[in-house]
Amino acid sequence: MALLGAAVLVGLIATLSSANRQRDSALRLQAHSYDVMILARTLSSTIARSEASLGRYVISGDRQLGRLYFEEWVLAGTQLNRLERLTYDNGEQRGHIAELRQAYEDRGRELSMTALSTNYGKNSQAFARYYQGRNAPTLIAINRTLDRLIARERALLDNRTSRAMASVERSSSIAGVLAVFGMLIVLGAIGLGWFTIRAVSDRAVAQADADMERSRAEELSAAVEQATAELRVQDAKLRQVQKMDAVGRLTGGIAHD
């Protein structure tokens, strides 16, 4: 019973430990997916701000806005590099990153031509390039690829969450069964202990009764022996009296003669 209880306890601890590990793993994967999606959205916003800064630069010719456009575009490249590192363990996402990088580089060259036209005072050419580039295939490719990347990461997140929840539920069910089994073992141990105590108590009572009967038998035997001895003494006395009486009678008869 003790070994069975120990086995149940070990199984319960192992099950709970496994559930905790699975929960921690699911939380790490969820955090990773959220990081990917947030960074992808941040990259999209950075690219949009860079293009907006370029548009203001084309209109105003303010070189400060030109530098802002360039800095934000470089920042977008840095964010793209980080996004590539975050998704390196996923083959499908690496494909999306490769497409995104190609579109980013192509779009960067297009925006650079617009910025150079503005820098050299070719405003009409810069206007034409900028407004034409607002619906450029490269920009569409960037947005489409980012959307696919985010959708794929969201699907991964949902799948991981579902599997983690199923695993935790399964572990919880097993833990519940083991807990019930453990309670049954405890109840069985209590019942076994009660029966053991009852058996020991009954044995003690029986032993006490046997000792009492033996003591009574010994007392009765002693009483019988004592009565027998007294009876023998009385019998001896009686025979002595009878003998003396017989002698007396015999002596009296002789004297009479």
Mind listing the pLDDT tens digit for each residue in 18-44? 667 777 777 788 888 999 999 999 999
Residues 88-135 pLDDT 10s: 988 889 999 999 999 999 999 999 999 999 988 888 888 888 888 888
Band (45; pLDDT cuts 50, 70, 90): very high
Average pLDDT over residues 192-215: 76
Question: 154-192: string of b/e by CB count within 10 Å (b at 16+)?
Answer: eebbeebeeebeebbeebeebbeebeebbeebeeeeeee
Q: In the predicted model, is pLDDT for residue 174 greater than 80?
A: no
Of 7-16, 119-128, 230-239, the least confident = 7-16
Task: For residue 46, give the nearest of 68, 62, 66, 64 by alpha carbon.
Answer: 68
Q: How many residues does the chain have?
A: 257
**What pLDDT is attached to residue 160?**
78
Neighbours of 5 (CB within 10 A): 15
Band (233; pLDDT cuts 50, 70, 90): confident
User: In the chain, pLDDT over 70 holds for what percent of residues?
Assistant: 82
Task: For residue 87, give the nearest of 103, 71, 100 by alpha carbon.
Answer: 100
Phi, psi of 105 (to 5 degrees): -65, -40
Task: For residue 43, give the nearest of 137, 149, 133 by alpha carbon.
Answer: 149
**Which one has a higher pLDDT value, 238 or 98?**
98
Q: In the predicted model, is pLDDT for residue 161 greater than 90?
A: no
Enumerate residues 6+ apart whose C-beta is below 8 A from 196: none
**Which one has a higher pLDDT value, 63 or 235?**
63
**What pLDDT is attached to residue 182?**
67
DSSP type of residue 36: H
pTM summary value: 0.63
Average pLDDT over residues 238-246: 74
CATH architecture under which domain 2-182 falls:
Up-down Bundle (1.20)
Average pLDDT over residues 193-203: 78
Contact 81, 65 (CB under 8 A): no
**Which one has a higher pLDDT value, 162 or 189?**
162
Helices (H) and strands (E) in the chain, counts: 5, 0
Neighbours of 73 (CB within 10 A): 22
Residue written as token pair 């607002």 = 134
Q: In the predicted model, is pLDDT for residue 166 greater than 70?
A: yes
Mean pLDDT of the chain: 82
